[in-house]
Amino acid sequence: MNYHTLTKKLRKLGCEFVRQGVGSHEIWWNSRTNRVTAIPFHGSRDLKKGTLRAILRDLDITPNELAKA
């Protein structure tokens, strides 16, 4: 899954862009759980599976929730 697809789904789940982070990273906040994570922006390249898992864990979102969004 690439950055654009992920952020579109995260917005549907109630997450918001907070600010630009260091380098090519963005800080996102989940308003439902009040948790924050950094998401790398690497254009159209797919995120690594471990990176995607860490983002979902940080935001307290299950893979099933993401798939349904």
Domain 3-68 sits in CATH at: 3.30.920.30
CA dihedral 26, 55, 57, 48 (to 10 degrees): -160
The confidence score (pLDDT) of residue 42 equals 87
For 37-62, what is each residue's pLDDT tens digit?
999 998 889 999 999 999 999 999 99
**pTM to 2 decimal places:** 0.91
Strand order in the sheet with 15-20: 15-20, 25-30, 35-40
Q: Where are the domains of the chain?
A: 3-68
Contact partners, residue 22, CB within 8 Å, separation at least 6? none
3-state secondary structure of 62: coil
The confidence score (pLDDT) of residue 32 equals 92
Quote the mean pLDDT of the chain: 95
